[in-house]
């Protein structure tokens, strides 16, 4: 039996859920950069938890657990480990984090190195998961490291690389982020092609870098290859049709 999506039982609810899935895992967390950024100082003092912006960011892993199905919630823990356990230098991880968040939240300003910050996010995630399942054991990170996937991601990055680097180096607000594209390439080649691609997309959206139809179609096709929710790639992408 199939429903109107052409898939099997339960697919309609999955399809409807996918409409509202703007991102997954760590790239979903970074997508929330504009929430505290849009608050006035008065609203920030009233709305942010005690501890300010860093404490607010640390509420997001619990939100991922509460708002997504189990497999997508688990992805956050895997993404964090993909970076923490990688050979990437802290500086590269910090650059990619800043690029994905439009330079609006620098963990170093709050006393965290890049890996230490990710570990804080990971601890917050695991604490929330274990409230529901006290014996939960995180699955292995399972980074995507096959050469075909790496080259596919690097290939779609190439035509827009200069535009993204210029936008990140000269933002209208937030910290200037230099060397973003080389850092993203390092994530793709040395940590995980899947996570590197999602963080690249997140940076493209953060800086509203325009893409033509050729790049747009390549982005979407690669998202399908990685099995992303249907609208993840297109959501807030600046596609010049």
pLDDT tens digits, one per residue of 42-61: 555 455 556 668 888 999 99
What residues contact 30, with CB distance under 8 A and at least 6 apart?
A: 97, 100, 101, 199, 202
pLDDT of residue 181: 98
Q: What's the whole-model pTM score?
A: 0.87
Rounded Cα gap, residues 39 and 45, in angstroms: 9
> Would you place residue 8 in the very low, low, confident or very high pLDDT band (cuts 50, 70, 90)?
very low
CA dist 39 and 34 (Å) reads: 9
pLDDT over 50 (residue 64)? yes
| Helices (H) then strands (E): counts for the chain | 14, 0
Higher pLDDT among residues 154 and 63, named by residue: 154
Tokens 């919630």 belong to 73
Average pLDDT over residues 16-23: 60
212, two tokens: 């033509």
d(C-alpha 206, C-alpha 105), whole Å: 13
**What is the pLDDT, as a whole number, of residue 7?**
39
Query: Which H or E run contains 60?
Result: helix 60-67
pLDDT of residue 240: 85
The three-state secondary structure class of 239 is strand
pLDDT of 41 > 70? The answer is: no
pLDDT at 82 over 80: yes
How high is the pLDDT of residue 3? Answer: 34
């Amino acid at each position: 039996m199939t429903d109107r999506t052409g898939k099997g039982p339960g697919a309609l609810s999955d399809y409807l859920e996918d409409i509202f899935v703007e991102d997954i895992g760590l790239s979903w967390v970074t997508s929330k950069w504009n929430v505290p950024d849009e608050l006035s100082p008065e609203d920030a003092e009233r709305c942010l938890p005690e501890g300010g912006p860093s404490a607010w960011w640390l509420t997001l892993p619990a939100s991922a657990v509460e708002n997504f199905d189990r497999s997508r919630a688990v992805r956050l823990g895997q993404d964090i480990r993909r970076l923490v356990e990688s050979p990437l230098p802290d500086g590269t991880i910090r650059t990619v984090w800043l690029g994905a968040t439009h330079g609006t939240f620098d963990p170093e300003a709050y006393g965290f190195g890049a890996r230490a910050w990710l570990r804080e996010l990971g601890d917050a995630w695991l604490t929330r998961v274990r409230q529901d399942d006290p014996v939960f054991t995180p699955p292995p990170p399972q980074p995507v490291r096959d050469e075909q996937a790496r080259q596919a991601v690097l290939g779609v990055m190439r035509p827009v690389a200069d535009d993204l680097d210029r936008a990140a180096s000269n933002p209208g607000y937030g910290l200037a982020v230099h060397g973003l594209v080389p850092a993203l390439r390092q994530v793709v080649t040395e940590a995980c092609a899947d996570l590197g691609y999602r963080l690249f997309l997140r940076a493209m959206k953060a800086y509203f870098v325009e893409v033509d139809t050729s790049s747009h179609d390549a982005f979407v096709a690669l998202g399908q290859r990685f099995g992303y929710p249907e609208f993840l790639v297109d959501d807030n992408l600046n596609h010049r049709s």
